[in-house]
Amino acid sequence: MPSTKLPRPHKSAVSTFYYVVFGVIEPLLTLASLLEAVLDPEKLINRHGPWKSDFKGAPGVPPVTAREIACQIALAHAVIGLINASVLRAIRRLPSQASQEKIAKSLFLPLAIGDVSYLFEVLYGTGNVRWKFGDWPRINVIVGIGFFIPRVCWLLGIGRYVETRDSRLDRRN
């Protein structure tokens, strides 16, 4: 009697959800940040700072060095975003799910560490307002946590094919 099993979707260590989040949205956000840094570094610097309008010395026209640093940081983020997109695209083309997992883990683990480091830096860099969470630069926290949570979910094997777990299920069926 022929099997009536439905064909399984493509088993990838980087599911469509993770690919869209890290291979499309994250690179686009990093490129947008770079564009803002080049076109309006003052806005970028002042939006990411922990100060309110009554803070002495900011906002205003930042010194050339601050503008240059903002552009360099935005460029570094954009390059990381593009590397992320290209590595994920290459991963999805690999035939071996075990290889996909190993390469994706080597990409996502340092990025997750970077996400945590970024949030700690925001905590440290906010100075006197560090415990006044309402005064934090919201975009930093939202984006930092918004990419950290899915990265941790991927590392935990949530919502994706995991070779060691799912290959055993495939053999049983």
Per-residue pLDDT tens over the stretch 4-19: 443 444 578 899 999 9
Residues 6 or more apart whose CB falls under 8 angstroms from that of 153 comprise: 159
**What are the CA-CA distances from residue 160 to residues 26, 58, 155 (Å)?**
19, 45, 10
Is residue 9 domain-resident? no
Q: Which of 86, 65, 77 is nearest to 36 (CA)?
A: 77
For the chain, how many structural domains are there in total?
A: 1
Question: pLDDT tier at 168 (50, 70, 90 boundaries)?
Answer: low
Instruction: Give domain status of residue 106, yes or no.
Output: yes
Q: What tokens does 165 get?
A: 């777990």
pTM (predicted TM-score): 0.78
Q: Is 2 within the bounds of a domain? A: no
Q: Quick check: is 34 in a domain?
A: yes
Q: What is the pLDDT of residues 87-140, one digit of tens each?
A: 999 999 999 888 999 999 999 999 999 999 988 887 777 677 677 767 666 777
Residues of the domain holding 90: 16-49+61-172
